[in-house]
Structure 1
Amino acid sequence: MMSEAVSFYHSLSQREESCGSYPIRKIFQQFYSEYLDSHTVTEVQHQTACCIADCKTGALGYNISFCKECGHVSIHACACNNRSCPNCQTPLEKKWVLARNSELIEGIAYYHLIFTVPFELENLIHANQKLLYSLFFQCASNTVLTLCKDPKYMGATPGIVSVLHSWGQQLNQHSHLHLMVSGGGLTSCGQFKETRHKGFIVPVRVMGKMFRGKFMDSLRKMWESGELRFKGGCQDLRNHFYWKDFVNLLEKKQWLPFVKETFNGNGNAIEYLARYAYRTAISNSRIVSVNDKTVSFRYTDYKDQSRKKIKTVAGTEFIRLFLQHVLPKGFNRVRFSGFLTNCQKTKKLKQIHCLKNTVYKGNPVKDLSTAELMMLMYHKDICHCSKCNGEMIRLPRGIPLTIKN
């Protein structure tokens, strides 16, 4: 028993001291207190910062299990599972991929669309995140659905998965949506119909013009009804004359989405989109160095022939850049529309599979236990000992443990 206890506490101390694999965690542990001295944060930003700093350190507790046959102890510090934490997104991504793969329709094309807004809108969007990000989703999906229902293009309602990104490679504000759109959909008569044009789903200029019109029309109504908040770099827009000039500027610009037939049937459609659905503002792998004052990270400069470069900023500035991309509480940055709308997804998918004489197998990860998920995703049996294959007994999860001197 004594040797087991020594081994147990030695294992705990090793885990608490090892931070090398998670440089972003180290950044928040090192600079967040200093950042709070000169910056105001929202409740959700503060919660995110604390989660990242405590993730997999033991501060959130441990998952502990022991083998009743040989006494082997398995210890894993609990992850925070915060959606903005880059340290614990991989299991969630794998689970999401398995769920979404069951919603693909075999034999049809899938299209990757990217909707962006002019950079002049970024300050206003940041001041009204929940309102304008929701408008972004609504206008993009409505544009695609409206045009796809046109017999010139598809004459049917496709399935759409939309993912919001608010950042650029340098952690700057760059709001855009990634959409995966099926190349076929359900007609008003209940038949399945594929797009008439291979290689593109809808002409980008047509789509861009409609998207701009829908967005700007709603934006004007929001200003007139007093729904918009003005702070930071957009305070001047309270003034009617500044607002009118601002709107005229935006309406003169071309809002051109990017459209590409990236996917083919079941190929890598969901795996590709999952990188956007569960990618945080920056990953640990892009952090080059962290010292007492600064943080250096890699980025791709798309304006300079996609060259790889390194940017160095103060530690507190890195935290500011990162936290500006933390979404409001309860806001979903992955949304479904068309025949994939949550309230009718299962019904519509069964209908499509019936029309195509294929079998709908349903969500393979729904209602699975943690042990079953680990076996499915990682082929790892957490119910049996890795040493002797004996039965593992799990202690209650989430009990913080400390080492007493």
Structure 2
Amino acid sequence: MIELQDIFLKYGDEYCQKHKLPFHIKKVIWNIISCRTSKLGGHMDECEECGHIRISYNSCRDRHCPKCQTLKKEKWIEDRKNDLLPVPYFHVVFTIPEELNFLVLTNQKEMYSILFKSVSETLLELSKDAKYLGAEIGFTTILHTWGQNLMNHPHIHCIVPSGGLSLDGTRWINSKEDFFIPVKVLWKKFRGKFLYYLKKEYYHNNSEFKFTNDIEDLKYKDVFQCFVDKLYNKNWIVYCKPPFGSAEHVLEYLDRYTHRVAISNNRIVAFENGYVVFKWRDYSDKNKEKFMTVTAEEFIRRFLLHVLPRRFVKIRHYGILSNRNHETKLKRCKLILNAKSLNSSITAKLSTAELLLKLTGIDINICPCCKGTMSLKRKLEPKICSPPNIAI
């Protein structure tokens, strides 16, 4: 299989020489190049019976690396099992207009924070309105910044239970079969929230906003106000999918969405002569699978668009699912709904070897030659070396 690592190994250094990149992006490149190689060190195992030697190199654990997400994802999902309620769940997607994409690229932390704040307040405020539900809900939000073609497409996926805890905390209120808030109401509220916080950020922290290339004129307040007015006149996109059938379906869905990176290795079809070919789905053309060919430099540029700001949290929980409500409101909901509690602490304490055995059926403690027991012989120290322009 062709991997993202192969592309960065061959062209990452050249790309860094041609483009001035911030520290955290260089670090992501270096992590992907180094993942599961001698650069990061590892350990050597030896079979106690036949003496078979196996060398395993360490993972980079970078959240942008397609190799490092599977185990992290499975541990995260195991931790979430105890948060599930025995009710249907909805999937709601909030997307900002493409006119904002240039502003997002140059002000990622500020714009993504506004997006999270707008989405969460929209759902929490409308659900408390007796006209729609009159209850306090909880939901998980997941930020994705890419489209299938790897271009910038910021949007937030929300997993929302079909109902909520009554405002007096005594009963569970079920929602309608379709989503309890009309989509038109959602996008209008979301639009108002987002543009309000955008203007607030702009006027209070104008000196910190970055305006480059095609959006340089936005630094002038009259131009910015005209830009915002046009966004007020657009219909924003909020999409609500039919509810999931059960908690198992929710977990299956989360399995696909939570720890995704901009592109997985299995979507890269070919890599030769300086060009990369990858699969993508064209949603504007009946969801057809197509192939796109770009230069390696363009492929790297598109991928790096989706490197998140340092320490930026892309999965967040709100309402009754937030951390501060775990031991209070969420417990109350479980009691009302007679939900079974799972002993998730057992899985949470599983070692990497035990989790791999559970997921794949492969026991890495067993020798592949004689079925004897593999034991640690010695640790391998990392090699302190890096390409000159990717050095961190």
Could you say whether these structures have the same fold, taking a TM-score greater than 0.5 normalized by the shorter chain as the test? yes
SS in 2 for 1:229: coil
Mapping of 1:345-356 within 5 angstroms?
Answer: 345-356=326-337
Say yes or no: does 1:27 pair with 2:2.
Answer: no
After superposition, the Cα gap between the structure-2 partners of 1:42 and 1:401, relative to the gap in structure 1 and judged at 3 Å, is closer
Residue of structure 2 equivalent to 1:9: none
SS in 2 for 1:246: helix
Amino acid in the other structure paired with 1:146:
E
After superposition, the Cα gap between the structure-2 partners of 1:57 and 1:194, relative to the gap in structure 1 and judged at 3 Å, is same
Task: Please say which of residues 54-63 and 154-163 is displaced more in the overlay.
Answer: 54-63
Mapping of 1:58-77 within 5 angstroms?
Answer: 58-77=38-57
Residue of structure 2 equivalent to 1:236: 217
CA RMSD of aligned residues (A): 2.1
Residue of structure 2 equivalent to 1:160: 139
TM-score, normalised to structure 1's length? 0.88
Say yes or no: does 1:88 pair with 2:68.
Answer: yes
Residue of structure 2 equivalent to 1:299: 280
State the distance in 1 between where 2:135 and 2:162 align.
Answer: 10
Say yes or no: does 1:343 pair with 2:299.
Answer: no
Amino acid in the other structure paired with 1:368:
L
State the distance in 1 between where 2:382 and 2:199 align.
Answer: 51
Question: Deviation string for 1:179-200 (max 9, x for gaps)?
Answer: 1001122222213423331122
CA contact (8 A) 2:356 2:363 kept: yes
Task: Please say which of residues 344-353 and 332-341 is displaced more in the overlay.
Answer: 344-353
State the distance in 1 between where 2:333 and 2:372 align.
Answer: 46
CA contact (8 A) 1:183 1:195 kept: yes
After superposition, the Cα gap between the structure-2 partners of 1:59 and 1:142, relative to the gap in structure 1 and judged at 3 Å, is same
Amino acid in the other structure paired with 2:283:
Y
Alignment match of 1:42 (pick from 4, 8, 22): 22
SS in 2 for 1:267: helix
Alignment match of 2:199 (pick from 220, 234, 240): 220
Residue of structure 1 equivalent to 2:148: 169
Residue of structure 1 equivalent to 2:127: 148
State the distance in 2 between where 1:94 and 1:124 align.
Answer: 34
Deviation at 1:96, TM superposition (A): 2.0
Say yes or no: does 1:249 pair with 2:230.
Answer: yes
Amino acid in the other structure paired with 1:336:
H
Deviation at 1:260, TM superposition (A): 1.8
Deviation at 1:82, TM superposition (A): 0.8
SS in 2 for 1:59: helix
Deviation at 1:139, TM superposition (A): 0.8
State the distance in 1 between where 2:273 and 2:80 align.
Answer: 43
Residue of structure 2 equivalent to 1:134: 113
CA contact (8 A) 1:23 1:290 kept: no
CA contact (8 A) 2:85 2:247 kept: yes
Deviation at 1:363, TM superposition (A): 3.1
CA contact (8 A) 1:288 1:298 kept: yes
Residue of structure 1 equivalent to 2:387: none
CA contact (8 A) 2:270 2:278 kept: yes
SS in 2 for 1:87: coil
Aligned residues: 381
Report 1 or 2 for greater relative contact order, CA contacts < 8 Å, sequence distance ≥ 6. Answer: 2
Mapping of 1:248-327 within 5 angstroms?
Answer: 248-327=229-308
CA contact (8 A) 2:144 2:156 kept: yes
Mapping of 1:367-386 within 5 angstroms?
Answer: 367-386=349-368
State the distance in 2 between where 1:50 and 1:331 align.
Answer: 19
Residue of structure 2 equivalent to 1:178: 157
State the distance in 2 between where 1:191 and 1:232 align.
Answer: 55
State the distance in 2 between where 1:348 and 1:390 align.
Answer: 50
State the distance in 2 between where 1:269 and 1:359 align.
Answer: 16
Deviation at 1:307, TM superposition (A): 2.1
Deviation at 1:171, TM superposition (A): 0.8
Deviation at 1:74, TM superposition (A): 2.8
Residue of structure 2 equivalent to 1:110: 89
Residue of structure 2 equivalent to 1:98: 78
Residue of structure 2 equivalent to 1:4: none
Q: Which runs of 5+ in 2 are unaligned?
A: 385-392
State the distance in 2 between where 1:26 and 1:337 align.
Answer: 39
Question: Deviation string for 1:53-87 (max 9, x for gaps)?
Answer: 12223322233222323323232222212100112
SS in 1 for 2:39: coil
State the distance in 2 between where 1:247 and 1:188 align.
Answer: 36
Question: Deviation string for 1:266-288 (max 9, x for gaps)?
Answer: 13112212322111111111112
CA contact (8 A) 2:75 2:348 kept: no
Task: Please say which of residues 170-179 and 96-105 is displaced more in the overlay.
Answer: 96-105
Q: Which runs of 5+ in 1 are unaligned?
A: 1-20
CA contact (8 A) 1:349 1:360 kept: no
Deviation at 1:44, TM superposition (A): 1.3
SS in 2 for 1:343: helix
Residue of structure 1 equivalent to 2:103: 124
Deviation at 1:401, TM superposition (A): 7.3
